[in-house]
């Protein structure tokens, strides 16, 4: 298993290109199942999760052509995927494939809407809580589907097709909003989703479905209205920049000090996180090229933050913020309200010398003057990158084990950081 070796202490200076968003690219690929014409997705990041979803879609008989880089292409350009779901040969998504990743469960919406049936294994994904799928199921039932759960599989049927309906989510859920949106796009009649997730990735998927001939209104607000259409056509769509990757590198710069341009980043996708970073002492400016993050001289100030659905502070940046606050001049408080078990990074950050006390859903972080390099273990995607941030500022060498978690969501992480002066390398095996 690969490891990452980091010798901390260097400030970051230079430019980091921001890739397409994993959490938009994955549902957009799934949306390819909604049409028998080609869906062309640009700016797709090169990630393990994207390759895994290619395998899952391949299992349904979908052809995916990946246009690689050609000479003269920008080295940082994302890949272009042509998804051709003309024929769906199999409506089962098996355990072996779906258990590896959360977003693969979302094939249930389009398969059911287009084929009238789907059999999808209960999903996997980062181990950050129980992560049930009851709200996906309730949404599909509201559209007239009959659902059974048997031997670890969700069996969904709608032999006469789905019908528009009213879906009221009792809590904000990104995944079930994706499921409802995709299924309702091909249902007969109008669907209203109340308390819908407002995340930018939902907007990206809704915009893409509209480019395919869908009729969705209200994406980005809590009420989404979808008028179902009998069929969707092909389209070309570019994946929006990754706000979590953006926030992660912004926190890395705030941690090490330095001056980095996050090229291609969009500030409007992470205003709350940027406000928190400013409070912590980073200077952030926005230009046509992206976001510039600086911290020179000033120390890190403590912050108090609670994770919330968009536009609040994202849970996917909680671990990275915690790494940053380990070196603040004072005590920070971070409350995680989205996932009940998203604190796996706490004990690993402690190996670097962090002082963190956990009490239920709140972590109290007493800033320390210095962190010291140590061997640590990556436990899930964002926890892993919080260890990278910690190690970049720690004295001496850190070795991060189980880095396959990182490869799920960060494209060319070592390359991007070492180009800005970090001492970081991947050791194979």
Ligand X SMILES: CC(=O)N[C@H]1[C@@H](OP(=O)(O)OP(=O)(O)OC[C@H]2O[C@@H](n3ccc(=O)[nH]c3=O)[C@H](O)[C@@H]2O)O[C@H](CO)[C@@H](O)[C@@H]1O
Binding mask 88-107 for ligand PEP (x = CB under 6 A): -------------xxx----
Task: Please give the DSSP secondary-structure letter assigned to residue 107.
Answer: G
Which CA distances in Å does 104 have to 23, 95, 203, 340? 11, 10, 19, 22
Q: Which two tokens stand for residue 105?
A: 């469960």
Least Å from the CB of residue 26 to ligand X: 6
**Footprint (CB under 6 A) of ligand X, residues 112-141:** 129, 131-136
Within 8 A by CB and 6+ apart from 233, the residues are 35, 37, 212, 213
Instruction: Name which position in 69, 171, 236, 355 contacts ligand X (CB under 6 A).
Output: 171
420 is catalytic: no
User: Does 23 engage in binding with ligand X (CB under 6 A)?
Assistant: yes
Least Cβ distance, residue 130 to ligand PEP (angstroms): 13
Task: Give the active site residue among 34, 50, 126, 203.
Answer: 126
Does the annotation place 200 within a ligand binding site?
no
- Tracing tokens 């980062």 back to the chain, one arrives at 126
Q: For residues 131 and 37, what is the distance between their CA atoms, to the nearest angstrom?
A: 33
Q: Which residues contact 64 (CB under 8 A, 6 or more apart)?
A: 29, 54, 57, 58, 81, 82, 83, 84
Q: Are 156 and 110 in contact (CB under 8 A)?
A: no
Please tell me the total number of residues recorded for the chain in this structure.
429
- Any contact of residue 225 with ligand X (CB under 6 A)? no
Whichever of 35 and 121 has its CB closer to ligand PEP, that residue is 121
Least distance from ligand PEP to the Cβ atom of residue 291, Å:
20
Residue 409 binds which entry of ligand PEP, ligand X, none, with Cβ cut-offs from 5 to 8 Å by kind?
ligand PEP
Q: Which stretch binds ligand PEP (CB under 6 A): 122-130, 198-206, 218-226, 359-367?
A: 122-130
By CB under 6 A, is residue 381 in contact with ligand PEP? yes
131 annotated ligand-binding residue = yes
| Residue 23 binds ligand PEP (CB under 6 A) | yes
Buried b (16+ CB within 10 A) or exposed e, 148-159: eeeeebbbbebe
Strand partners, 65: 82
Active site members: 126
Q: What residues line the site for ligand X (CB under 6 A)?
A: 23, 26, 102-103, 129, 131-136, 171, 173-176, 315-316, 338-339
**Which residues make up each annotated binding site for UDP-N-acetyl-alpha-D-glucosamine?**
102, 131-135, 316, 338
């Amino acid at each position: 298993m690969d490891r990452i070796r980091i010798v901390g202490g260097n400030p970051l200076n230079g430019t980091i290109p921001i890739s397409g968003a994993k959490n938009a690219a994955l549902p957009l690929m799934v949306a390819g199942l909604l049409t028998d014409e080609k869906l062309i997705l640009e700016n797709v990041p090169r990630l393990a999760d994207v390759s895994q979803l290619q395998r899952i879609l391949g299992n349904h008989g979908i052809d995916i052509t990946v246009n690689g880089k050609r000479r003269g292409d920008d080295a940082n350009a994302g890949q272009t995927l042509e998804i051709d779901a003309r024929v769906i040969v199999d409506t089962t998504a098996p355990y072996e494939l779906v258990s590896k990743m959360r977003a693969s469960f979302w094939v249930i919406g389009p398969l059911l809407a287009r084929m009238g049936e789907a059999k999808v294994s209960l999903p996997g994904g980062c181990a950050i809580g129980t992560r049930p799928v009851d709200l996906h199921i309730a949404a599909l039932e509201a559209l007239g589907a009959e659902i059974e759960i048997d031997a670890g599989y969700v069996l969904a049927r709608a032999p006469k097709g789905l019908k528009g309906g009213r879906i009221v989510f009792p809590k904000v859920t990104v995944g079930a909003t994706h499921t409802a949106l995709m299924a309702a796009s091909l249902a007969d009649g109008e669907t209203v989703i109340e308390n819908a997730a407002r995340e930018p990735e939902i907007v990206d998927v809704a915009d893409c479905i509209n480019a395919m001939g869908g009729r969705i209104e209200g994406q980005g607000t809590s009420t989404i209205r979808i008028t179902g259409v009998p069929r969707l056509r092909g389209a070309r769509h570019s994946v929006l920049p990754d706000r979590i990757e953006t926030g992660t590198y912004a926190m890395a710069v705030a941690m090490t000090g330095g001056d980095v341009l996050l090229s291609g980043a969009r500030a409007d996708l992470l205003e709350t996180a940027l406000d928190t970073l400013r409070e912590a002492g980073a200077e952030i400016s926005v230009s046509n090229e992206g976001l510039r993050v600086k911290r020179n001289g000033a120390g890190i100030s403590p912050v108090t933050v609670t994770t919330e659905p968009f536009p609040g502070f994202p849970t996917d940046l909680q671990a990275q913020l915690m790494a940053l606050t380990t070196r603040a001049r004072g005590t920070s408080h971070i409350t995680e309200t989205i996932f009940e078990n998203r604190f796996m990074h706490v004990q690993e950050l402690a190996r670097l010398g962090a002082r963190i006390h956990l009490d239920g859903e709140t972590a109290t972080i007493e800033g320390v003057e210095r962190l010291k390099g140590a061997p640590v273990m990556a436990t899930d995607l964002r926890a892993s990158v919080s260890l990278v941030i910690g190690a970049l500022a720690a004295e001496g060498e850190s070795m991060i084990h189980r880095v396959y978690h990182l490869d799920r969501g960060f494209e060319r992480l070592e390359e991007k950081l070492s180009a800005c002066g970090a001492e970081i390398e991947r050791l194979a095996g």
